[in-house]
Amino acid sequence: MKTAEEIFEILKNELGEIILSIDKDTPTEPIISVEPLKIHIVSKFLRDNSELQFDSLMCLSGVDDANGKKVKDNEGYDVIEGGTLSVYYHLYSTVLKHKITLKVSAPREDAKVESVENVWKCADWHEREAYDMIGIKFLNHPDLRRILMPYDWEENSHPLRKDFKVPEFYQGMKIPY
């Protein structure tokens, strides 16, 4: 069993640059920030290292950080420009019984994160959900389709974004409220 700081040290020593920082201020759990395009390397290391053995991905959540600039678009709605979208990975080791939280942040306009589907299979649907809801593109994901929304939902419309505008029409049909 290892604490988050120890894990951070191991990661920093082994992988260096990829690991960005550790955020210890949060009241409940320290979060390790990682490069979005290198997350699969970190994941694989975390899973296969005999000291760490993070064999299970508890949760993968896409988050709209909403830390950009709020501007009005031409119809008068608030739209967020700039800032980041993040993905949080909650890992657990069923053998060593320790936990760790990873975080990657990618720019909002072109959010691309490497998929960890081939490290933990259960990331498959979680990543699809994050793509569907937040609009984060997972590179090298085998089947990145929408999962909860209809397949023919408007492109680039992701409901869990903070500036999501509820559409008036769906496939030409008026949506009644």
Partner 1 sequence: MALKTETMVLNMGPQHPSTHGVLRLELEIEGELIVNVKPHLGYLHRCFEKHAEAMQYNQVIPYTDRMDYLASMGNNFGYVLAVEKLLGIQVPERVEYIRVIMAELQRIASHCVALGTNGADIGALTPFLYLFRDREYILSIIEETCGARMLYNYMWVGGLSHDIHPNFVRRTKEFTSYFKNTIVELDNLLTYNKIFIERTANIGVLPAETAINYGATGPMLRGSGIKFDLRKDDTYSIYNRFDFDIPVGQGLQGTVGDSWDRYYVRVREMEQSLRIIEQAIDQIPEGDVHSAIPKRIKPPKGTVYSRVENPRGELGYFIISDGNTNPFRVKVRAPSFVNLEILGELCKGHLIADVIAILGSIDIVLGEVDR
Q: How far is the CB of 170 from partner 1 (least distance, A)?
A: 13
Looking at beta carbons only, is 12 or 164 nearer to partner 1? 164
Q: Which one, 17 or 156, has the nearer CB to partner 1? A: 156
Cβ nearer to partner 1, comparing 39 with 102: 102
Crossing angle for the helix pair 4-15 and 39-48, to the nearest 10 degrees: 120
Q: Residue 132 has what DSSP assignment?
A: H
- To partner 1, the closest distance from the beta carbon of 108 in angstroms equals 15
> How far apart are CB 32 and partner 1 at their closest, in Å?
13
Q: How far is the CB of 162 from partner 1 (least distance, A)?
A: 8
User: For residue 23, which of 83, 105, 138 has the smallest C-alpha distance?
Assistant: 105
- Burial label for 6, CB within 10 Å (0-12, 13-18, 19+), is middle
Residues that bind partner 1 (CB under 8 A): 25-29, 31, 55-59, 61-64, 88, 90, 94, 97, 101, 120-122, 124-126, 133, 146-150, 159-160, 164
Please name the residues in contact with 64: beta carbons below 8 A apart, sequence gap of 6 or more: 85, 108, 134, 160, 161, 162
